[in-house]
Amino acid sequence: MKCSQDDTFSYGEVNRYGNLELSPSSGVLNYGQGLFEGLKAYRKGDGCGFLLFRPEENARRMQMGAKRMCMPSPSVDQFVNAVKQTVLANKRWVPPQGKGSLYLRPLLMGSGPVLGLAPAPEYMFLVYASPVGTYFKEGLAPINLIIDDEIHRATPGGTGGVKTITNYGPVLKAQVRAKSNGFTDVLFLDSTEKRYLEEASSCNLFIVKDNVISTPITRGTILAGITRKSIMEIAGDYGYKVEERLVSVEDLTAADEVFCTGTAVVVAPVGSITYQGQRYAYKTGIETVSQQLYSALTAIQMGLVKDKKSWTVEI
């Protein structure tokens, strides 16, 4: 789907996966004027039809990001229809239920040429797809995180709260370093006081202490995850007290349980967190809050229970 600054995104087509033609002076290549989204289509249990999980939320997050990045954005309907068409065109690649999902990656970018710094004169919106396996092959294996107190993901007034492509390149160094030291991922601290937890490189953070569930308040520097929002609601339904607040390193080290949420991991229990050479261990396994919430959310996403909240969209 293409548009100029004055048009809306009015037409689309389905093409085979292949290379794009982009001007070397496009806004996205020169000034990082680009956004992405990520969502999954699950095959329904009976093998007929597919389920998307809250795709309008991804559309709205892209719209919010587009405002921040001075771009027009597709309407919610255009976004959801493009995602649906992509699923239908890739039906045979959607794994059987329980074996994974079709990951969908919507991209919005300034595709027109700009030499001096300015919003691009033309934009492109596209969706591509890839089958993905389940993040955890057998059960919920705990992940191990390290807090990086040198590299920050976001700054106040920056773009940490939207899903711009330029948020991700700068965290690679911290992520590669964490992985090469045997950790699954890195946790980022706020860049002002360097004592409040924000999130991991592609998932949100939750802590559980005495059955109270807390997640860092977004304050514009944390991506407001759709899984995060859904888990907060489900946890509330289960009777937990759920708080969005500042979560300090001290809160984290004193927590009973820690878990991360995101489209890729869904809900990932955290086995340990390392900070300044000290390793803190957390409860994992059956009878944990994370296990309970994981089961509740995946049952909705895969259509195994009645979707009382109307979160899923059937294709």
Q: Which residues of 174-186 are buried (b: 16+ CB within 10 A; e: fewer)?
A: bbeebeeeebbbb
Q: Does 290 bind ligand PMP (CB under 6 A)?
A: no
All residues at 6 or more sequence positions from 222 whose CB lies less than 8 Å from its CB, including other chains: 154, 160, 161, 198, 199, 204, 216
- Site stretch for ligand PMP (CB under 6 A), options 6-14, 189-197, 258-266, 269-277: 258-266
Residue 114 tokens read as 């700009």
In this chain, which of 33, 263, 291, 312 binds ligand PMP, going by CB under 6 A?
263
Q: Which is nearer to ligand PMP, 84 or 228 (CB)?
A: 228
Indicate which single residue of 27, 55, 216, 262 sits in contact with ligand PMP (rule: CB under 6 A). Answer: 262
In the three-class reduction of DSSP (H, G, I as helix; E, B as strand; rest coil), residue 177 is classed as: helix
Contact letters (x/-) for ligand PMP, 50-89, by CB under 6 A? ----------------------------------------
Q: Which residue has the tokens 């899923």?
A: 312
- Nearest approach, Cβ of 223 to ligand PMP (angstroms)? 4
Q: Which residue is nearest to ligand PMP (CB)?
A: 225
Binding mask 177-216 for ligand PMP (x = CB under 6 A): ----------------------x--xxx------------
Name the residue type at position 236: G
Residue 44 is given by DSSP the state P
By CB under 6 A, is residue 106 in contact with ligand PMP? no
* Residues with active-site annotation: 163
- The upper half-sphere exposure of residue 306, i.e. CA atoms within 13 Å in the direction of its Cβ, equals 1
Partners of 186 in the β-ladder: 146
Token digits of residue 126: 């596209």
Residue ranges in contact with ligand PMP by CB under 6 A: 38, 199, 202-204, 223, 225-228, 261-263
